[in-house]
Amino acid sequence: MTSKRDDHPAWVPPYLARLGVDDPQSLGAPSLDTLRRLHRAHVELIAFENFDIQLGCPPGIEPAESIARILAGRGGYCFNLNNAFHELLTFLGYDVTVHRGQINGSVASAKATADEYDTHMALSVVIDGERWSVDVGLANSHHEPIPLREGVHVQGPFRFELRPLPEIGPDAWRFLTDPAQTTFHSMDFTLAPATWEDFRSRHTEWSTSPQSPYVRWFQLFRRDAGCAEYVLDDEYTRDEGAGQRTTRTLESAEELFKIATDVFHLDLSAIDDADRAALWDRIQRAGAEWRAMQQSAGN
């Protein structure tokens, strides 16, 4: 493991400040405790969000642009969040690697080969010879790094599982969400190294295609030690695990933006009133469509 550099680019102090670190030198050399601290702060304070995709002005996923979003008080989805965190950890001296991943809505939707993985950017960090799954862009999952070991891993009220996928390849793994969570089933990933450029094509599709889940549905997530909170279209949910979940329908654009600011720590001051109204109209229509689909599926 390399040592943390004494000098730093201009973006490092404000990035760390968003994570509650006022003095970069206070972090010391790379360690598991510091990695845990940074990871927890990231998922608590920097939200998974797709405001700009919903508004028809999707951001890029280049590292500099992803970092600039965070400095501006914004978040992003996995290609932004994990890409930016990769840059920060690399600068701080961690042995961090980007991996190709695949989000599975169900087992049936899983890809047959790792060559097809491109819907999620995953990270891993090796510390003292052990590899850890690091993911600040997987919606309502990781609160802390998870050791890359087969078995159940409990974080707060949630129970996750890691399984090797020998049928896919020697370096393929499956991360399974808590059985009581309902947002996605699992995420498959391969430990083969990747780069952010490997996700350009998928990002273009997911940020612009009318069939993309990020274009069709509004999504906003954060995680802390005791719960996961999220907004899907016009419904706000607080999930405390073990089936302890409360959901309510939001009533206005003002309520949505207040929650996004107060609960999800986003600075949305650059979104003007006209765009807020247009977004709220879009979100309400998508929410009604989703509920109609669920009702039809239940009949």
The 10s digit of each residue's pLDDT in 21-38 is 998 889 999 999 999 999
Over residues 224-234, the mean pLDDT reads: 96
pLDDT at position 298 over 90: no
pLDDT at residue 162, rounded to an integer: 98
Long-range Cβ pairs for the range 205-214 (8 Å, 24+): 206/53, 206/77, 206/119, 207/53, 207/58, 207/59, 208/58, 212/53, 214/50, 214/53, 214/54, 214/77
Q: What are phi and psi of 27, to 5 degrees?
A: -70, -25
Radius of gyration of the chain (CA): 19
pLDDT at residue 6, rounded to an integer: 56
To the nearest 10 degrees (0 to 180), the angle between helices 273-298 and 253-262 is 100
| Spans of all domains in the chain | 204-298
31, 153, 220, 235 from 133: Cα distances, Å: 15, 11, 22, 30
The residue assigned the tokens 């701080």 is 92
Over residues 63-91, the mean pLDDT reads: 98
Class of domain 204-298: alpha beta
Distance of CA 152 to the CA centre of its chain: 21
> Whole-model pTM?
0.94
If pLDDT is split at 50, 70 and 90, which confidence band does 242 have?
Answer: confident
pLDDT at position 173 over 90: yes
pLDDT at residue 1, rounded to an integer: 42
Mean pLDDT, the chain, whole residue set: 94
For the chain, percent of residues with pLDDT exceeding 70 = 97
Q: What would the pLDDT profile of 137-170 be if each residue is shown by its tens digit?
A: 999 999 999 999 999 999 999 999 999 999 999 9
If pLDDT is split at 50, 70 and 90, which confidence band does 60 have?
Answer: very high
